[in-house]
């Protein structure tokens, strides 16, 4: 049946005043006195009959007055029958929300113009054909919660559409549609429509939105081409972002072609100089991996890029930027009891086999292990150290908690009691037992994926770990609950164990390169593992050099500075802009709103520190896979969705929409009739013989 609604339902509270006549009647009614008089029995009988009639008259008048009050409240509340009839929308003003998809994929060029330009043209056509008196709101997918509201000026709405910028972000349409529906809820126009201009790619619809219950017409303006001749570079991953001069940095990326294939030329530059060029064979619809290495030749912040020199329809993913922080070789403090110890000498040679090695070992005695000595280093190695004092263990604990790394290499000089002390166990990942001299050598297990320290051994070019034979080790009583076994012997006894403590890491090697522990046939694996471990433990984990466009770039302050002056340069400019650091968090936050290589400078007193980072678009936005039509249509009302990619089809169709029937005139007529009837019946009911005689006037004498 028809739904009954009210424009102002809150006013219906006034209908409660209908109880007022009842209350007045009960309060004001007269109660006759009981008089016992036998001679008036006939009069009493007649009186009872009159009272019954009078009570009925009172009830009728009471009901009429209550109904009158209810009708007055309903009249003011504008009573309507919501679904009374239907009418064409061609001449009905509408509340229209136009959503523009301005995500990165809308920069795809087709027939000399971008899809965003086509979307704006289709939206402009919608504005032109909307009926007079319509109200229009514009929402962009890149900023769905930005300022938006209904306007009646078509030129103003068209200007809002023209001013929508090209966005490089990876926003879905879900938030924009939700915002559009919320705007329609605030409009009192009966006809409501939502227009969505998009390229219909799957990422645009990745977040589901359910608007099936919304009583609006939805029109999707498909701006897509149905073609994907784009070539895109994936994310560039660096093996290290902070390295010394001459270090080899591996770059891994990939190349994708939608409907294109063949040999594609890929190039790379570092510090403005070409460092790589290769023809990559591309198969349509598949990713082709690409890896190469670069070696920085000077210190400083070096900007680089990987790019496709050939042109294609989408420019934003043809280049990926990267940044390298190149400095002097990091310092490694090697603590030993005596420099003639075999374990110490072999470890020193392994971490720095050449004068131009990637780390700089500095040898100290245990007594030199002080807080001041640890300020300038990232890693400390205990190379077969017999024991440390409790104060030294506490110093190392604070060093590790604040981001330093500790590398403990076992050896025959180590005291089990000293390394099992309470202070030592705050750092040690295991509890030691006695030193074992194995009658039969034990091999290591094979490298498993997911362990960065063993990553080189996943490459067939390096000898396998299973060929290593160890002749000595410490037996392990137990490992701590937060310790991780990186490498184990064939009999499951831990060989390499790590423990995360605060911001730093503790690594324990349950073996030594000394001949008493290690067989000569495993020295090649030992050298690779040593260099890999040293590289990981000396890397500055706080240096992040890659960020995604549209997010915040958060750069930590140098540890040597407390309140520096910070300036930065955006890509393509020579202007130094100041920024206020967040001293409480110890970081600088910048909006990553421009793609390319950024640079920062921290200055405090005479100290200067340069940093850099790269901003790239989200590789996911290069996915031009069309969205599944069934999933898209399932989000909208079954009879309230139209999808079109033709300008002519955007002309508004003769749509039948329900129109309400206003009961206000009928209520007014009924109220007037009720008041006249109440007055008439009141006069009739309460007219007495005396009053009737008075109205007739004096009788004439005969």
**CA atoms of 547 and 236, how far apart (whole Å):** 11
CB crowding 202-228: b at 16 or more within 10 Å, else e = ebbbeeebebeebebbbbbbbbbbeeb
- Highest mean pLDDT range out of 63-67, 303-307, 533-537, 653-657? 303-307
Give the model's confidence band at 67: pLDDT under 50 very low, under 70 low, under 90 confident, else very high.
confident
Residues in contact with 620: Cβ distance below 8 Å, sequence separation at least 6, in sequence order: 170, 203
Whether residue 6 contacts residue 79, with contact meaning beta carbons closer than 8 Å, is answered with: yes
Q: How many structural domains is the chain composed of?
A: 4
Q: Which helix (H) or strand (E) holds 423?
A: helix 422-425
> Does 166 map to a domain?
yes
Residue 654 confidence (pLDDT) above 50: no
Give the model's confidence band at 222: pLDDT under 50 very low, under 70 low, under 90 confident, else very high.
very high
Q: Average model confidence (pLDDT) for the chain?
A: 86
Q: Same domain, yes or no, for 447 and 374? A: yes
What per-residue confidence (pLDDT) applies to 596?
96
Residue with tokens 């940044």: 323
Q: What is the percent of the chain where pLDDT is above 70?
A: 86
Q: Calculate mean pLDDT across residues 404-411.
A: 94
Last residue of a domain, one of 497, 520, 538: 538
Q: Same domain, yes or no, for 364 and 480? A: yes
Is 601 exposed, middle or buried (CB count within 10 Å of its CB: 0-12, 13-18, 19+)? middle
Q: Calculate mean pLDDT across residues 531-549.
A: 86
> Does 498 map to a domain?
yes
Residue 49 confidence (pLDDT) above 70: no
Give the model's confidence band at 580: pLDDT under 50 very low, under 70 low, under 90 confident, else very high.
very high
Question: Which residue did the predictor score with more confidence, 16 or 526?
Answer: 526
Q: Calculate mean pLDDT across residues 150-175.
A: 91
> Does 485 map to a domain?
yes
**CA atoms of 294 and 88, how far apart (whole Å):** 68
Q: Same domain, yes or no, for 522 and 490? A: yes
Q: What is the DSSP string of 539-593?
A: S-TT---EEETTSEEEEEPPTT-SS-EEEEE-TT----EEE--BTTTTEEEEE--
Q: Same domain, yes or no, for 504 and 379? A: yes
Q: Which tokens is 560 given?
A: 């040597």
Q: Same domain, yes or no, for 342 and 445? A: yes
Last residue of a domain, one of 538, 558, 588: 538
Q: Same domain, yes or no, for 485 and 436? A: yes
3-state DSSP assignment of residue 311: coil
Sequence-separated contacts (24+) of 623-626 with Cβ below 8 Å: 623/105, 623/201, 623/202, 623/203, 624/105, 624/108, 624/199, 624/201, 624/228, 624/230, 624/258, 624/314, 625/201, 625/202, 625/203, 625/228, 626/200, 626/201, 626/202, 626/224, 626/226
**CA atoms of 436 and 449, how far apart (whole Å):** 30
Is 656 exposed, middle or buried (CB count within 10 Å of its CB: 0-12, 13-18, 19+)? exposed
> Does 106 map to a domain?
yes
Residues in contact with 617: Cβ distance below 8 Å, sequence separation at least 6, in sequence order: 104, 168, 316, 317, 548, 549, 595
> Does 233 map to a domain?
no
Question: Which residue did the predictor score with more confidence, 53 or 397?
Answer: 397
Q: Same domain, yes or no, for 531 and 398? A: yes
What per-residue confidence (pLDDT) applies to 693?
47
Is 379 exposed, middle or buried (CB count within 10 Å of its CB: 0-12, 13-18, 19+)? buried
Give the model's confidence band at 84: pLDDT under 50 very low, under 70 low, under 90 confident, else very high.
low
Q: Same domain, yes or no, for 410 and 556? A: no
> Considering only 115-124, 463-472, 659-668, which range has the smallest mean pLDDT?
659-668
Q: Same domain, yes or no, for 487 and 576? A: no
Residue 393 confidence (pLDDT) above 60: yes
**CA atoms of 95 and 180, how far apart (whole Å):** 11
Last residue of a domain, one of 514, 538, 562: 538
What per-residue confidence (pLDDT) applies to 439?
86
Q: Facing residues of 577 across strands? A: 568
> Does 245 map to a domain?
no
Give the model's confidence band at 421: pLDDT under 50 very low, under 70 low, under 90 confident, else very high.
very high
> Does 259 map to a domain?
no
Could you tell me the CATH number of the domain that includes residue 470?
Answer: 3.40.50.880
- Residue range 239-273, pLDDT digits in tens: 888 888 888 899 999 999 888 888 999 999 999 99
HEC readout, 215-271: CCEEEEEECCCCCCCCEEECCCEECCCEEECCCCEEEEEEEEECCCCEEEEEEEEEC
> Does 305 map to a domain?
no
Q: Same domain, yes or no, for 53 and 178? A: no
Q: Calculate mean pLDDT across residues 302-306.
A: 96
Q: Same domain, yes or no, for 110 and 214? A: yes
What per-residue confidence (pLDDT) applies to 232?
94
Does this model's pTM top 0.75? My answer is no
Q: Same domain, yes or no, for 595 and 453? A: no
Give residue 671's domain range: 4-84+662-696
**CA atoms of 484 and 497, how far apart (whole Å):** 6
Residue 652 confidence (pLDDT) above 60: no
Measured CA angle at 447 (ends 444, 452), to 5 deg? 125
Could you tell me the CATH number of the domain that includes residue 156?
Answer: 3.40.50.410
Residue 47 confidence (pLDDT) above 50: yes
């Amino acid at each position: 049946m028809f739904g009954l609604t009210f424009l102002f339902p809150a006013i219906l509270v006034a209908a409660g005043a209908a109880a007022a006549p009842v209350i007045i009647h009960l309060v004001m009614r007269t109660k006759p006195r009981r008089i016992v008089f036998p001679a008036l029995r006939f009069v009493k009988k007649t009186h009872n009959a009159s009272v019954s009639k009078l009570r009925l008259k009172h009830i009728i008048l009471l009901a009429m007055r209550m109904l009158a009050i209810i009708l007055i409240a309903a009249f003011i509340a504008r009573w309507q029958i919501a679904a009374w009839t239907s009418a064409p929308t061609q001449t009905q003003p509408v509340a229209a929300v136009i959503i523009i998809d301005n995500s990165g994929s809308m920069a795809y060029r087709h027939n000399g113009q971008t899809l965003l330009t086509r979307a704006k043209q289709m939206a402009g056509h919608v504005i032109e054909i909307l009926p007079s008196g319509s109200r229009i709101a514009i929402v962009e997918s890149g900023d769905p919660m930005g300022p938006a509201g209904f306007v009646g000026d078509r030129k103003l709405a068209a200007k809002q559409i023209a001013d929508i910028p090209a966005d490089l972000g990876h926003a879905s349409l879900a938030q924009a549609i939700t915002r559009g529906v919320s705007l329609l809820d605030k409009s009192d126009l009966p006809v409501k429509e939502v227009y969505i201009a998009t390229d219909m790619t799957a990422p645009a619809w990745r977040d589901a939105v359910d608007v099936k219950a919304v009583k609006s017409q939805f029109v999707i303006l498909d701006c897509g081409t149905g073609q994907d001749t784009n070539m895109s570079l994936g994310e560039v991953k660096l093996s290290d972002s902070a390295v010394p001069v001459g270090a080899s940095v591996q770059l891994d990326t990939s190349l994708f072609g939608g409907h294109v294939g063949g040999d594609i030329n890929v190039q790379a530059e570092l510090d403005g100089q070409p460092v790589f060029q290769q023809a990559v064979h591309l198969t349509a619809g598949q990713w082709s991996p690409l890896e190469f290495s670069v070696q920085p030749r000077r210190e400083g912040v070096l900007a680089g890029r990987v790019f496709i020199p050939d042109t294609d329809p989408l420019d934003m993913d043809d280049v990926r930027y990267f940044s390298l922080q190149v400095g002097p070789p990091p310092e490694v403090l090697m603590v030993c009891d005596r420099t003639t110890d075999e374990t110490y000498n072999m470890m020193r040679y392994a971490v720095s086999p050449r004068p131009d090695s990637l780390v700089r070992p500095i040898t100290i005695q245990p007594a030199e292990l002080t807080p001041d000595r640890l300020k300038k280093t990232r890693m400390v190695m205990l190379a077969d150290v017999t024991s440390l004092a409790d104060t030294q263990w506490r110093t190392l604990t604070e060093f590790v908690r604040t981001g330093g790394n500790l590398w403990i290499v076992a050896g025959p000089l180590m005291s089990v009691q000293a390394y099992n002390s309470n202070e030592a166990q705050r750092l040690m990942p295991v509890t030691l037992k006695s030193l074992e001299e194995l009658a039969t050598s034990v091999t290591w297990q094979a490298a498993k994926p997911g362990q960065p320290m063993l990553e080189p051994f996943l490459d067939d070019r390096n000898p396998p770990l299973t060929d290593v034979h160890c002749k000595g080790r410490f037996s392990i009583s137990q490992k701590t609950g937060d310790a991780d076994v990186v490498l184990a012997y064939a009999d499951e006894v831990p060989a390499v164990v790590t423990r995360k403590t605060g911001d730093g890491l503790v690594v324990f090697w349950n073996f030594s390169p000394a001949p008493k522990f290690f067989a000569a046939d495993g020295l090649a694996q030992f050298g690779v593992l040593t260099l890999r471990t040293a590289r990981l433990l000396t890397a500055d984990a706080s240096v992040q050099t890659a960020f995604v466009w549209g997010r915040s770039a958060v750069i930590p302050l140098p540890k040597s500075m407390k309140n520096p002056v910070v300036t930065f340069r955006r890509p393509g400019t020579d202007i130094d802009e100041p920024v206020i650091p967040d001293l409480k968090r110890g970081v600088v936050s910048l909006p990553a709103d421009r793609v390319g290589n950024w640079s920062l400078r921290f200055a405090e007193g005479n100290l200067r520190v340069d940093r850099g980072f790269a901003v790239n678009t989200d590789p996911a936005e290069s996915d031009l896979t069309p969205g599944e039509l069934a999933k898209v249509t399932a989000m909208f009302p079954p009879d309230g969705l139209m999808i079109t990619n033709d300008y002519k089809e955007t002309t508004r169709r003769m749509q039948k929409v329900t129109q309400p029937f206003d009961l206000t005139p009928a209520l007014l007529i009924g109220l007037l009739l009720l008041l006249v009837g109440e007055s008439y019946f009141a006069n009739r009911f309460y007219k007495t013989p005396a009053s009737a005689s008075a109205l007739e006037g004096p009788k004439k004498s005969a």
